[in-house]
Amino acid sequence: MENELFREKLRTELITRTKRNPRFSIRSFARQLEIEPSSLSQIINGKRPLTNKMCLRLSQKLSLSPEEIEKLMDSEKSGKESFHTFKSLDQDQFQVIADWYHYAILELTHLKHFQSSYKWISQVLGINQNEVKDAVRRLERLDYLEITEQGNWIDRLGDANNEGNTYTKAAFRLLQKQVLEKAISALEEISYEQRVQTSMTLPVSKKKMKQAKAKVLAFIDELGDFFRDDSPKDEIYHMSFSLYPISKTQENKELR
């Protein structure tokens, strides 16, 4: 059966999410994948073909890397279009976005006490040296990082552009999951004086969400500019913001 490994991935993912949340259903899964529940059920149960085009569509919703997709799909049986799509996927670019420490390494180069040592970077970021080495090679291949003959590390990401990567959205979803996980750790491990973690619950008009999002993004840019002054930098921070609905009144109008 075509793309059976990808079909099995869908089955496994459904089981995993159901274990995390007993109320999770195939209907919930279909909503996340933006596909009809009946179609998803038929695909999972092998009653409907799983085409290469559908695999590529679902893979973005599952936040799969290009490497994972190629392993799951029957690439040797795929048509020329799918084959060339695989060839054009940039695994390096995906990984730089998806793993938080790539950006952190680049930002470390701006610190006044930066040390161009894999061991030092490993210690300050809390990752192993092999991860540091792989990340540095990846950043160099993409021309995001320049290491001069004199041993100076220069952040070149400002000259690069991530636009146009087919899998950028999926990579950013993985990045935000990692950022949220680190935020939870910071809540337990970092002193209150060294962090800001707060929340607000409030009624909103969904019609204003577009404006609200613009205000949030403008504030983040403003705060970024505030820190990007000429003062010496001595630490790397993550900044994240979440604004999301916790009610589903529009989906439950019959309860009114």
CB within 8 Å of 132: residues ≥ 6 apart: 101, 105, 118, 121, 122, 125
Identify the pLDDT of residue 256: 45
Give 133-170 pLDDT, tens digit per residue.
Answer: 999 999 999 899 999 999 999 999 874 444 445 567 77
Give 61-89 pLDDT, tens digit per residue.
Answer: 888 887 788 788 875 554 444 444 444 44
Residue 13 has pLDDT above 60, yes or no: yes
List Cβ<8 Å contacts ≥24 apart for 53-57. 53/82, 55/3, 55/6, 56/82, 56/85
Give 87-139 pLDDT, tens digit per residue.
Answer: 444 778 888 888 999 999 999 999 989 999 999 999 999 999 999 999 999 99
Say how many residues make up the chain: 256
Instruction: Locate 76 and state its tokens.
Output: 């040797």
Report yes or no: 81 and 18 within 8 Å, Cβ to Cβ. Answer: no
> What is the rounded distance in angstroms from the CA atom of residue 129 to the CA atom of residue 219?
35
By C-alpha distance, which of 69, 78, 89 is closest to 6? Answer: 69
Residue 180 has pLDDT above 50, yes or no: yes
What Å distances lie between residue 66 and 26, 91, 165, 166, CA to CA? 25, 6, 11, 10
> What is the rounded distance in angstroms from the CA atom of residue 187 to the CA atom of residue 177?
16
> What is the rounded distance in angstroms from the CA atom of residue 177 to the CA atom of residue 171?
10
β-strands 145-147, 153-155 pairing: antiparallel
By C-alpha distance, which of 96, 20, 95, 100 is closest to 64? Answer: 95
Give 35-64 pLDDT, tens digit per residue.
Answer: 999 999 999 988 999 988 899 889 888 888
DSSP letters spanning 106-170 = HHHTTSTT----HHHHHHHHT--HHHHHHHHHHHHHTTSEEE-TT--EEE-GGG---TT-TTHHH
Identify the pLDDT of residue 57: 87
By C-alpha distance, which of 240, 236, 237 is closest to 108? Answer: 236
Helical axes 26-33 vs 37-44, angle rounded to 10°: 110
Task: Quote the distance between the C-alpha of residue 148 and its chain's center.
Answer: 30
Domains by residue range for the chain, with CATH? 4-89 (1.10.260)
Mean pLDDT over each residue of the chain, to the nearest integer: 84
